[in-house]
Structure 1
Amino acid sequence: MGTHASPPHAPGDDELFADGGANGRLMAAFDWSTTPVGPVGEWPAGLRHAVRTVLVSRFPMILAWGPRYTQFYNDAYATLIGTKHPAAIGEDLRVTLAEGWAALQGPVEHAMATREASWIPQLLLLLERAGYREETYFTVSHAPAYGDDGRVAGMHAVCTEVTRQVLAERRQGLLHDVASSSGGLADETATVTAMTAALAGGALDVPFAAVYLAGPDGLRRAAVVGCTAESLPGTAAGPGGLLPPAVAALGVHGGPFGDPVTEAVVLPLDGADGEHLGALVLGVNPNRALDGEYRSFHELLAGQFTAAVRNARAYAEERARAEALAELDRAKTAFFANVSHELRTPLTLLLGPLSDTLAAAGTALPDDVRGSLTLALRNGQRLQRLVNDLLEFVSIEAGRASAVRVETDVPALTAELAGVLRAAAERAGLRLSVDCPPLDRPAYVDPRMWEKIVLNLVANAVKYTFVGGIDVSLRADGDSLVLTVADTGVGIPRAELPLLFERFHRGSGTAARSREGTGLGLALARELVTLHGGEVTATSEPGVGSTFTVRVPFGEPDAPAGGPAVPSPSARGGVVTPWDDAVDAAGSRPAAAGTGASVLVVDDNADMRAYLTRLLSPLFTVWTATNGQEALAAVAAARPDVVLTDVMMPALDGFGLLRALRVDPALRDVPVVMLTARAGQEAAVEGFDAGVDDYLAKPFESAELVARLRAVLERAAGRAAGAAASARPGTPPPPAPVAPDPDAAPPAPPHPRQPSSAPPAVPARAVVRRHWRLPSAASSVPVLRRRLRTLFAEAGVDGDRAYDLVLAVCEAATNAIEHAQDPAEPVVDVHVEVAGGLVEVAVRDHGRWRERVPSMDRGRGSMLMSAVGEVTATPGPSGTTVVIRSGGPPLPTDGALR
């Protein structure tokens, strides 16, 4: 390089640094005479042009001139070298970047020697620009710088720092690897161990790591990577005890240059709901500052571990729940199996004597006795069939059932089984077509299982078909038998089809001949078909019909045939179709002498209708209906004195029938008595709140049913007489109803219904009597309050006085509920009589009195009751009666409660 003056076209001294910004001003003030390039005035034109080009560029650029690599750089480059600026101005590049010169020397010298520019993306450089040995990355291009004589006089470098991009990509990849490592692992320890192992692939950012999981005794070490597990505590009470006083004592080296790790962070693993799951310990790269981006990376890692632990624990909890449910299901299966086995013994002792008696002396028995025994036998066989189905289903679930295939004339057996239901179908006005031609090869099935498959499908078709017919066909299709049962019934909604063969599933809102059934029929049919190695499918269109298709292989024999297969005794039509009215003694029966009352029996079970008809016809005129809609039509044709109805029925159930009667002004006072299989106080309260006159749970005693019907009829007659008397001014109140025949079974206390709408007030001289029997529970008090308000409004009691009476009576009822010990009956009886301005209420429990203790005393009961009127309490061995009397002397009463 020369020292001659620059040619006229080179930048002058006054303009050389003018456009160089802050660095240009620093360089203009710099004493260049102390450097190998000498004073500015002596610089050659090539150097002047090169310096000015570097200074005016906004891209980071550096010029190293001469054999001593004297450096010139612009403002953009100054920010890259940090604290090395401005001391690097005029300094030897090899000295300024001494820590990184090993990486730079080769590309720089190559560019100057060969005059070929280099391009190095993401070049790793060790810089000490921020007070520590820093890991940095640059994309760099080195090119030769030419002197005035055309020879290489230096080096131009253009560079950009890409450290943030490199670190972001690297950390993102590590996050992905960690997240992927937890897939498919359920145990939380195994999950965090796999995730921690994945951190080994990111040692530059995580030199070492440890995961601690929270337990009852604090934190326990679950996984470690990058250091020995023993160098970290096995347990700790909290995050503060997870690191030694000096992290360097762990002896871990990290970063791209292998420097000692002296920093680590501890991050809590906390769920969104505040649940403490554990802690994550992460070593810090010694060649990177713990800045905001590094902390965000740590937080993302902690979030991944938190989510994984939460998922693992949720999975474990779900698995525990599933195991508990499976255990419960196994216990339920065992219970059903035990109960089914236990039921078989009494069933055998019931069915055996009944069958023997009918076989030995059936023709000699009176007709009514033979009918009762036949009814009992048929329903015993039905119960036996249900028990057998349940036991078989339990055996299938337990994996103990298998099909024993024998050579069977499947077409003949199928036709005979379908024929069992032909009479039921014809009585329902349906056509039953059976097309089962002989097969050209032997078929092997389990006859008893095949019987249940055919009967369940055909009986189901009869149950849900009202118009048209049912087609049963059997054909060979290759190596399979194909049974098809098609009907023109109500069809199955699309949403119900996937659930059709689920156990206990029963379609809601679908019209049927009966609501009877366990929901096991189709599920059992599918299981039995599966045991034969086949499948059953269903297609349906609402309003058009359904088709069930069973496909089973011809099979191979499991045992030798024992003779022609015939339907079992439990395949009889009355057993399979309990709603069939073949045994229903429909129509009226002569009433007993002197009895003009008529009873409408409503039940979808044919045997129950026949039984009730036979039971009640000596005393009443009995009509029957199979559901609520038929009952409404019968009531419209001829009004009965009382309706005796089941609750669960097709078309219109018992509650629907009750509501229809109560909203009809001409029929709202027809007494209604409900029979139901739903037992319990809640069911009774629901019935009484709906306005039923009496409610009887199945099974019931015949004498109790007769007594309750008599009580309801007498109460209805008393209401009618009172209404007639109130219509004639000056007529004295009617006498109390005559008690039932003492020789008959004692009736249960009557249960009046609650009117659906408030009737007009009763004249002052009329006597209004009500009796309610309520469950001995706090939930009965609101029911009693509503009924009292309605009654006092009906009787014309003054509003303020009625309010006081309601408070007093409800307080007496609360006392009866709270203080009756060991009640003979868990009920409270409330008897109310109102005559003009006189009101008398008796509240009775059925237990021994429990003395009040201070903690139970609300301090207002006696005051409330005595403020209303005269109060008397009569305790007794079978219960206590509290009488509240307001407005005068005792009223005439039958003394039933007092």
Structure 2
Amino acid sequence: MVLLVVFNRMLTRPLVGIIHQLSEHNPNESRQLLCPTGHENDEIGILAQTINQLLRKTGQEIDQRREAENRLTEYLGELENMVSSRTAELEAANARLTQSNRDLETARSMALEMAQARSAFLANMSHEIRTPLNGLLGMLSLSLDGPLSSEQRQQLSVAHASGKVLVRLLNDVLDLSKFESGQMELEQIPFDLGALIEDATALLSQSAAPGVELTCLIDPELPAQVIGDPTRVRQIASNLISNALKFTRFGRVDVRLQARDGCMRLAVRDTGIGISREAQARIFQPFAQATADITRQYGGTGLGLALTRKLCEAMQGRLAFSSKEGLGSTFTVELPLPSHTPATPRTALQGRVVALTPGSSGLADLLEMQLPHWGLGYRRVDIGCGLAGIEADLLITDCPQCLLGLRPAIGFPFLVVTAYGSFLPREETLALAPLQQLARPLSRSALYLAVTRALQAVEEPPPSEVPDSRAAPRQQQVLLVEDNPVNQMVAKGMLVKLGYEVAIAPHGAEALSYLEHGPVDLILMDCNMPVMDGYETSRRIRQDGRWPELPIIALTANVLPEERERCRSAGMNDYLAKPLRREDLANMLHTWLPSGTSAT
């Protein structure tokens, strides 16, 4: 009992006191536990001190955590304020963006409306301008075919050439407007690219200065046909060639076409005035030329290169150039035109050909490219070197004067290639026979035919005996549906000269009446007429069912793309744009009237 009393007093009661203090201790208070009296230095005192140390540390940790929580709360508040501020800014930016989008959509709608209004205006203005131009150029062309004095012929020729320049300018302006309004559409049809480039070069050769040699160099491995838009490709080539000829007074203009890395590469190189470094940055801008002095001296509007670049970009191609002032320029076009038909080799020829020409001439480059490819032996001799001891079957030269005195010492045929105005007179031609004369630039087919004839000793028939494969039978009847009296006179004059009989109807109702009573082989249908226009007339002809195969060719001054589709939808077979050119009219009639049989 004594021990129990001692243990209770010495251990149990102090420990129970400490336990009671701990149970009532508040963590938020800094109050310490009281050590039981008399136990300051024993184990119970040490326990009380240890508990107090733990309580102090716990209080400190609680204070630190509370302080951290307070700081975190402050940070969260600041973050919420920042998020609210950014949200407000984003909402304001979204509102501004929405308003900008509305403004842009409004501006886009206005731009589209303006583009459509401009296109309609250009179409109407084109029609109004082309109608009198058709009469002007047509009458001038008909007048040039009649008996005139030399002075009258020169004056009318100048007027006719000026009218054609005006038509080209009108076409360029319309094409640029199509690009800006997004209405330019490209065809994807097979065509002979080499023949197209040769035709464009030959057509523009009459613009070459007397001292300029124009040469067309076509890669023998070029595909026979490629797929693309032949009209636009011809436009690109014509712009580059005419530009080179305009600024070249002496030397050469080379048109080189080859297939390279899946692209068709057209390079036009000239030895003209070149382009200064300062002017090169603006030559592709519409209505801009290198300098004002060039505009005064050479003329032009500066639309050609701008339009050419846009056409190249529309075809996913590339237009590049290099130039040095005074040393000429080279413009290179690369167009991704897929091959449709591979190159077709010509029948191999046998013989030896000698060229009497400088090594710097375009003729030498042409012969070196083509003749070995045709199986011919080829050798070039400089002008001034003798021909003694040279064995050949044909001599080709671009120096007609070099042939004088060579007969009868040299017996093989001569082929002279020169400009139209430099042909040998008849007396010298007879003295040098057998001799053929060809005008440059030479096409591949013309060169091949001339070489074949010369090697086979076939004499060239006189011009009067050459059959005209496109001569039209005089009994074929063309119905011209046109309300403008001047255009009636122009078209009728052209048709009569081409050998056709012509009937005229001033509007569609009379055309339908004429079809009921007279035989008609083809109809030339103006689109815009009073009483009944060409579209309605064509639809009624097709719906009637009696003339399903009768060709109807649209005549219109509206050259925008949708006009062609509108004509086709109405039942017309083809399309001719005003002002009419006799060559285009003849080609169109030959296409649709090859047999000469009438449809009644």
TM-score w.r.t. length of structure 2:
0.42
The structure with the greater share of residues assigned to strand is 1
The higher-RCO structure (CA 8 Å, 6+ apart) is 2
The structure with the greater share of residues assigned to helix is 2
Which structure: larger Rg?
A: 1
